[in-house]
Structure 1
């Protein structure tokens, strides 16, 4: 199976990306039947704060992973980046759970701030998150389908650098969105 996956990384990236993004758009679009999802109100109430904690932790693990690979600490890099991806998945699962049951959160502040500040920040955050999904899947598939020495001759580094920067910006903007929704207004 590993040889087949190794030879089909772009195809697998496309398939997994469509599935992941399809789940997001289905949840946001209200397509997922809510009667199939168990409702845990206590969990729903803390998901925004939980996702901020996850985002802050992910920012830390992404930076630590980046620093580890600069020191040529490949095992540490792998562990940090897998932890970052796990945090991203946890964030996404909690977000999808909440938005499936509650819908997107309305901006509670002034319309002018919403139109000229909140929506642009939210839009960039969402766009980067969408772009990150296939990039992250691609670099992870490259990493898990090749021996370490072969990764250096793949596009893992070049795509990974772009993915990490966009990922950091997306997580950071997500925290700004949280602050605008739940702290400032």
Structure 2
């Protein structure tokens, strides 16, 4: 195993970690493909809603509002995490980015659960606004979200398989800068989409 990588007392865990470290990009792409396949399977209604237990209507109705709060919080956490990295506070940066990942995971679980049961929320506003404003914003939001998945996954895999001292020799900082910027914009656009669906109209 390469020096500088923390080893465990379990040889199997060490071998897995070393393999992931050596093939970080391939592992990231594979994980991203699985995650995106699951998301699109639910979004395109390949997963029958009847296969899931149904929460009370009050819970389903609350999910968009909870997810908007999660998205806004995650955007703030990502921006704070970038600022912490620039100041060299790498331990706090790591915690912030793991928190952002956890928030994103929670958002995704809630969103996919609701979509599986109820389908995508219809736009309640005028057709002209739907075509000229809402649809382009939604398209950018979804596109950035898809692009972010492999970028964020790659950065996380690098971060979990390398020490802080080793990360400057990897694409972590370069890819992470792009991933964080797109991620924050994605979260903000998610709040905009929510506002157009549930507040403006």
TM-score bucket (shorter structure):
over 0.9
* SS of structure 1 residue aligned to 2:166: helix
Look up the match of 2:95. 79
Are the equivalent residues in 1 in contact too, given 2:151–2:179 (CA < 8 A)? Answer: yes
Q: Normalising by structure 2, report the TM-score.
A: 0.90
Look up the match of 2:7. none
**Deviation for aligned residue 1:23:** 1.1
Look up the match of 2:163. 147
Are the equivalent residues in 1 in contact too, given 2:74–2:100 (CA < 8 A)? Answer: yes
Query: Separation in 2 of the partners of 1:39 and 1:161?
Result: 39
**Deviation for aligned residue 1:43:** 2.0
Look up the match of 1:52. 68
* SS of structure 2 residue aligned to 1:43: helix
**Deviation for aligned residue 1:59:** 1.1
**Unmatched 5+ residue regions in structure 2?**
1-15
The reply to whether residue 117 of structure 1 matches residue 133 of structure 2 is yes
Look up the match of 1:18. 33
Q: Normalising by structure 1, report the TM-score.
A: 0.98
Query: Over residues 111-148 of structure 1, what are the superposed CA-to-partner deviations in whole Å (9 max), with x where a residue is unaligned?
Result: 00000000000000000000000000000000001111
The reply to whether residue 106 of structure 1 matches residue 122 of structure 2 is yes
Q: Which among 152, 176, 184 is matched to residue 192 of structure 2? A: 176
**Deviation for aligned residue 1:42:** 2.6
Q: Which among 125, 132, 145 is matched to residue 129 of structure 1? A: 145
Look up the match of 2:18. 3
